[in-house]
Amino acid sequence: MTETSNAAAKAALRSRIRAGRRARDGAAAAFAEVLAGCVPEEGAILAYAALSGEPNLDLLLDDLHARGRTVYLPVTTPGEPLRFGRLETAMESLPRVGKWQIREPQPLLTAPEAVAGTADHPPVGVVFVPGLAYGPDGARLGNGAGFYDRTFGPQGQVPTTSAAVDFIGVCYADEVLDEVGREEWDLAVTAIATDTGLQAVSGGAGAGACE
């Protein structure tokens, strides 16, 4: 498949999945149950604030925040790697920012600072990565803006292969596909969490945080 045809195939797949997600309710309770077993006893949790139709982690993240756990959420700047801010309030109280009305906290840390930790902030123990779809090898189909690839991809700030932390891909069960057309810059996760359970990645070491 040529680069042009691969890009066209990805665009068509994104459109199909987004259309299907318009009828989704986020399955917050199901994802909270599955992902609770992936939260380590120590360290921060790097997650995301779901858009409409995305797998919704609000229930889990509000519970973690209420129990005093450190939760980091992405802050986006077009064309740049993600930065991260700390969740200091209920998820629904976060301000909605930009074209896509993403709920974002105040930016605080770069990805290297968040993952490794600083004098004032604990290191990350697990990363929950949203995706439109995942392949059995952990390859991710994102929304196409490149934020996660610039941050955690092979050419990003903190490649998943170099970080001593689990990267758990999050999508609905029917969005785990036979193939998603991985490019050299695309990140891959160590395990996939769906609304029906946890799925190991072929050829990977699995999700240590979930064992």
Neighbours of 29 (CB within 10 A): 13
Binding residue positions for ATP: 140-148
**Closest by Cα among 50, 54, 47 to 69:** 47
Q: Rg of the chain over CA atoms, in angstroms?
A: 16
Binding residue positions: 54, 140-148
The whole-angstrom separation of Cα 107 and Cα 83 is 6
Farthest-apart Cα atoms in the chain, separation: 49
The whole-angstrom separation of Cα 30 and Cα 211 is 18
**Closest by Cα among 89, 94, 30, 37 to 65:** 89
Question: H or E element: which one contains 191?
Answer: strand 191-194
N- to C-terminal Cα distance for the chain?
A: 38
Binding residue positions for substrate: 54
**Closest by Cα among 81, 98, 73, 83 to 145:** 81
